[in-house]
Structures are given as structure tokens and as C-alpha cells.
Amino acid sequence: MPSPWETKIAPVNGIKRIEPGDQLGEIIAAALKRSAFQLIDDDVVVVTQKVVSKSEGRLVRLDLVKPKKKAKELAAELGRDPKIVELALRESIRVVRKGHGVLITETRHGFVCANSGVDLSNVDEGYASLLPLNPDASASRIRKSLEKATAKRLAVIVTDTFGRPWREGQVDVAIGCSGIAPTQVLAGKKDPYGYLLKVTQPAVVDEIAAAAELVMKKLSLVPVAVVRGVKYSRDESGAKSLVRKRSLDLFR
Amino acid sequence: MPSPWETKIAPVNGIKRIEPGDQLGEIIAAALKRSAFQLIDDDVVVVTQKVVSKSEGRLVRLDLVKPKKKAKELAAELGRDPKIVELALRESIRVVRKGHGVLITETRHGFVCANSGVDLSNVDEGYASLLPLNPDASASRIRKSLEKATAKRLAVIVTDTFGRPWREGQVDVAIGCSGIAPTQVLAGKKDPYGYLLKVTQPAVVDEIAAAAELVMKKLSLVPVAVVRGVKYSRDESGAKSLVRKRSLDLFR
């Protein structure tokens, strides 16, 4: 009897603490090799934003951040650290919401998230991490490096942990991807009852990001996972194509 | 060498077309038995809302729906079917946004989604499905029935496919759950760099819902999946506890 498990998720253990300049693709390939884990064609390698940002030097020494007036006022209003607010504002194109100690911004990429993704967790004390400048390009670089090291056709997704309007808790979403189409377009197809689906378009890369988070370990340095068995299309439209156009967005 | 696959996802094949009054737990247990699939303790059984709603008779004959004035006006404004708008309004406590042919409402449960979850796909022609009245109770009933049939300790998640603000595509989220704590609270714990996490609380049931969607098949009647290997806590706070309190919500 064939295995019933269509999709499987493995954490990648043995990734060292990442420093600026580190070549993530090579480091992931080496960690897989040490654990005798063989990638196969169409595996999806999921990498958390934090290690991508570190490898790209997207770290800021907090003692060098001088909050401007707007950041100081906003920080006072929200009861937050003015340096983090300063960085969040620098990384943003606008403030979407503020209140209850929370600052929701729109980043230059078009992502809407807390503090523009500026984060103090899993970095050296005294530093903050910023989102990669171009997470799709980051995913592409890691994919090419991993494909070279393994001689397999792969996809890479860069994830971050976002809160959601109306719902408690956070889920990981794709902020960058390469080698995989971000969505599966079912709109235009008929379901088994003959109904023509009109808008159905699962955000596959976000679903894989969420699935991978189930094996990631924020408390014990497991920032990479492999997801096998997902049927997906390949394209390079990137996670940027998931950002809804302002003209179509009811929530901007 | 132990398997690297920490989490695995299997579609459950052979579920018949569900009718009002069907006992979903028994039907799922029978389908698993036919495919020689053995559940083990702590498996999470994920069930899409559509079959839950059908089994609970949450179907409406469209030819019996008489749209009121408000629904007719809104439907004309959005270019939508007045009967669907009528049902969406009946199922909602308020309209959150409208435009671009889209109606976003808040349901009686507190979920914010398109058309209050009223849907024409995967139901007999001439019918619409409504969300279960109490999806946590639905999950609990299915869990108890499956636990009785299998003598295993299980969790059940009822999912629906929701759009998101700011992002294209949809992901499945948990609208009901039983036997599993909806979130994993990491806030208050320290990461490996010594940083005290402040808000981190992955919405595990939503991540499992998204993961399960990867093997669900909207086009070929696969409305149930099993997810194995997720570490989770057990409680009965339900997916209703994921609904952010109005007083804390920046987006209501």
C-alpha cells in the first residue's frame, strides 16, 4: 500500500547562528548533507526572514538609532521603545493603524504588519533586524545556490510571522518566493457539482509558510524547513504579486 | 536513522457526498477504515466547513429566498446576486466593507469574511451553504464520534477558506476546533539569544488548517485530511477564542 502521506514537513537541524555575509544556500545545503537529508526535485525549502535578514546584513545597532520627533511622540503614545518606532517608520510608507501598544504599518514592499517587521527576537542583544530589501530576490538567490549544491529543481519561500486583523495569534506568511507560483488559480474551473468557481485561488506559498511554521522552532534555532509533496506551478511572479493593488483593496 | 518528517498530512479519500443528517464522525471513521488508515493518539483531523454545514442541514434553497430592499440595493451596487446578498446579511451582524463586487461582513461568530461564508460551491445546484451555527460544537461532536470509533485521543479542526486584507489569494483558517488549544503561547519565554518574547503566539489551528488545504481537493471531493506530528496543547477554548475582542481590535 502506498504511503497515505501526500505532504511532509521536516525541520532542518544544525544551521549555525547566521552572521552578515553568510551564504545561506550553502549553509543550508551543508546542514542537509550532515544530516544525510537528500532533497528531491520540487521540494520546497522554507527559510525564516530572520536568518535571511542577518545574512544580508539587515541589522541595525540600536545605540546608533536617533529617534526623530514623530517617532518619539508615537512611541510615547503607544508606550513603545522610540528606537523601534523610529526604525518602523523609516521602513514604512505609512502608518495603517496604531493603538493598544501596537503599530501597524505598510512597508515599502506593500506588506501590512506590526512595526514594519522590525524585530528584536533571535538577534544579538543591542540589534534589531529589518526585513530583507527584496525578499523575492533573496529567495531566488537561495534557490539558485541550493539547486547548484544539490542538482535538484527546488522552490524557496522566505517567511515572516504576521499578526492578522480580527484574529488573535500569528501565522507565518510568504514575504518572498522563487521557483513556485504564489497561488493556484482554481477560478474558472468547475467543482464536482458543476459549479463554476469564481474567485478561488489558494495562496499556496502562504499555506506552505504556515505549514512549515509547525516544525520551525523560534526558541531553539530551527529557521529552515523542507516541505515535500505539494503540487505547485512554477513561476517567478514572487510574493510581491500577493500584495493586493491599492486600487482593488478595500482595506487600504 | 529516524524519519526527518516531523509533520505529515494525508488526504482522506472515499468520503461520500454528504447530506443533511449524516453523521460525519462515523462517515470519516468508515472512510479511514476502508483505506486501512489507522489514526493514532494526537492526530488532528481537519474537516472543511462545507461538509459540516451539509451534515447539519445548513443549506438554503435559493428559490425560497426573498431578498429585502437592503439586499436588493446592495446587490445592484456590487453587481451580485440579491439572494446571496440577502443570505449574507441575514448571517451577519454588520457590513465591514463593500466594493469591487465584494461584500465583507462580520458573522454572528465574529468572523470577518466574504458574504458571511455563504457559498454556492460544492453544493447541489439551487442551494447555498451557510456556516455552521457553532463550529466549535461541530468540531467537538466530530471529535467525540471519531474518538469513540477509533479509541484514540484526537483533535478536530473545522476549516473555511477566507480571503485576507491586503493580500491576494485565500488560505484556510480554523472556524472551529476541539481537543486542541488554538494557539501556542510563546510570549514570556526567552529565545536562544536571551530575548524575552512579548507577543509571540502562533495560531496553531490556523497553521494546521492552511497545511491541510495543501492536500484538500476542492475539485474532487476531498473534504477531510489528517495531520500527524504537530505538538499541541489540549483545551476547549475553541476557535471562537481566536476572535479578537472588539475593544482590542484596531480594524473593527
Q: Tell me which of B3, B6, B7, B12 to substitute to probe the interface with A (most A C-beta atoms closer than 10 Å).
A: B7
Q: B153: distance to nearest CA of chain A, Å?
A: 20
Question: Do B59-130 and B12-55+132-239 fall under one CATH topology?
Answer: no
At the fourth CATH level, which superfamily is domain B59-130?
CofE-like domain (3.90.1660.10)
Instruction: Give the CATH fold of the B12-55+132-239 domain.
Output: 60s Ribosomal Protein L30; Chain: A; (3.30.1330)
What is d(CA A186, CA A202) in angstroms, rounded to the nearest whole number?
8
Percent of chain A scoring above 90 in pLDDT? 90
Domain assignments of chain B as residue spans, ordered by start: 12-55+132-239, 59-130
**A214, B213: Cβ pair inside 8 Å?**
no
Cβ neighbours of A161 (radius 10 Å): 25
Q: Tens of pLDDT along A111-165?
A: 999 999 999 999 999 999 999 999 999 999 999 999 999 999 999 999 999 999 9
Q: pLDDT by residue for chain B (252 residues), tens digit each?
A: 678 999 999 999 999 999 999 999 999 999 999 999 999 999 999 999 999 999 999 999 999 999 999 999 999 999 999 999 999 999 999 999 999 999 999 999 999 999 999 999 999 999 999 999 999 999 999 999 999 999 999 999 999 999 999 999 999 999 999 999 999 998 899 999 999 998 889 999 999 999 999 999 888 889 999 999 999 999 999 999 999 998 888 987
Q: A64: distance to nearest CA of chain B, Å?
A: 20
Q: Tens of pLDDT along A153-200?
A: 999 999 999 999 999 999 999 999 999 999 999 889 999 999 999 888
Minimal Cα distance from B13: which residue of A? Answer: A4
Residue A108 pLDDT more than 90?
Answer: yes
pLDDT at A219: 84
Coil, helix or strand at residue B201: coil
pLDDT at A10: 97
| Parallel/antiparallel/unpaired status of strands A102-107 and A112-114 | antiparallel
What is d(CA A129, CA A24) in angstroms, rounded to the nearest whole number?
16
pLDDT at B1: 61
Closest partner CB to A250 (pick from B100, B204, B252): B100
Q: Is 0.95 topped by the overall pTM?
A: yes
Q: Tens of pLDDT along A13-44?
A: 999 999 999 999 999 999 999 998 999 999 99
Instruction: Give the CATH fold of the A1-58+132-243 domain.
Output: 60s Ribosomal Protein L30; Chain: A; (3.30.1330)
Q: How far apart are the first and last CA of chain A?
A: 51
Q: Tens of pLDDT along A70-98?
A: 999 999 999 999 999 999 999 999 999 99
Strands of chain A, DSSP E = 7-11, 44-48, 59-61, 92-99, 102-107, 112-114, 127-129, 155-164, 167-178, 224-228
What is d(CA A138, CA A178) in angstroms, rounded to the nearest whole number?
9
CB A184 within 8 Å of CB A233? yes
Coil, helix or strand at residue B61: strand
